[in-house]
Amino acid sequence: MMSCFIFLSVVFCSGCKKQEGNQKADFVVGFDVDVPPMGFLDDKGDPTGFDIELAKETFKVMGKTVRFQPIDWDAKELELSSGKIDLIWNGMSYTPDRAKSMLLSSPYMKNRQIVVVRKDSKFESLEDLNQRLICAQKGSTGMQALKDSEVGKNAKSITELDSMVDCLNDVKLWKSDATVVDEVVFRHYLAQESMKDDFRALGEEISTEDYVIAFKKENVELKNQVEAALKTVVGKGIARELSEKWFGVNVVNFSA
């Protein structure tokens, strides 16, 4: 199972160089390469995923070109405010703190933060995790939800790791007893033949949230343009088709 995680890390490194290039575009979208099925790099090092394809269709409606730039998720606010990227579109959840530092779109889909354990572990409920070792991605809403929850408050310790892949790997190696992850991301991993027998989710979520698109605080014009184009993409049924391709059902619920 280790090879699955190592492969993703290698793809990240090689893909970053490919993305940097000298490719010119009207806008640059920042994304975390470790968040399949929302955004990640395929085996050729090219950006792919539900959010990537939804963004492409949206900018196509706008008549603009777009480039996808891998970023350090923990430094996303700095990447945006410094102008290195124009927006973030990659399974990013709404929080009041993010709304203070970034300009956020209307929600376009919902997500849950769930607790994942090894399939062969004895844990059956959130209460079973009292005084246990738990991890979550650094800078993620999962980490914040964990710290705010009874699970986090009763944990023996909380570990912050760079990606959800690292968190799952930590549980796989028994370094952590559980991890908090986005449900849509976990379901994607669970569907992989190499991982389906390794993990399971506990029945209770620790939070629910909305996915949004982030812009530089003062860039109201771009936000309005993207929302108008996304509304067109939804209205034409393109968003539904992408949803069914990646999730089997329509997950988009957007009203600008």
Complete DSSP assignment for 140-191: SHHHHHHHHSHHHHT-SEEEEESSHHHHHHHHHTTSSSEEEEEHHHHHHHHT
pTM of the complete model: 0.77
Of 118, 104, 122, the residue nearest 172 (C-alpha): 118
Cβ–Cβ under 8 Å, residues 50 and 250: no
Q: Confirm or reject CATH 3.40.190.10 for domain 112-209, answering yes or no.
A: yes
Length of the chain: 256
Which residues are CB-contacts of 116 (< 8 A; sequence separation ≥ 6)? 168, 171, 178, 179, 180, 181, 186, 199, 200, 201, 202
Our CA angle for 125, 146, 71, nearest 5°, is 130
Output the tens digit of pLDDT for each of the chain's 256 residues: 344 433 343 333 434 433 444 458 899 999 999 888 999 999 999 999 999 999 999 999 999 999 999 999 889 999 999 999 999 999 999 999 999 999 999 999 998 999 999 999 999 999 999 999 999 999 899 999 999 999 999 999 999 999 888 999 999 999 999 999 998 888 887 777 567 789 999 999 999 999 999 999 999 999 999 999 999 999 999 999 999 999 888 889 887 6
Give the C-alpha separation, 125 to 123, whole Å.
6
Start-end of CATH 3.40.190.10 domains in the chain: 2-109+213-247, 112-209
- The helix, strand and coil proportions of the chain, stated in percent and rounded to the nearest 5, come to 40, 25, 30
How distant, in Å, are the alpha carbons of 74, 86, 95, 207 from that of 216? 16, 7, 16, 26
CATH class of 2-109+213-247: alpha beta
**Which pLDDT belongs to residue 14?**
37
**Which pLDDT belongs to residue 190?**
78
| Six token digits for residue 28 | 């640059």
Cβ–Cβ under 8 Å, residues 144 and 94: no
Amino acid at 50: F
Which residues are CB-contacts of 232 (< 8 A; sequence separation ≥ 6)? 61
**Which pLDDT belongs to residue 42?**
93
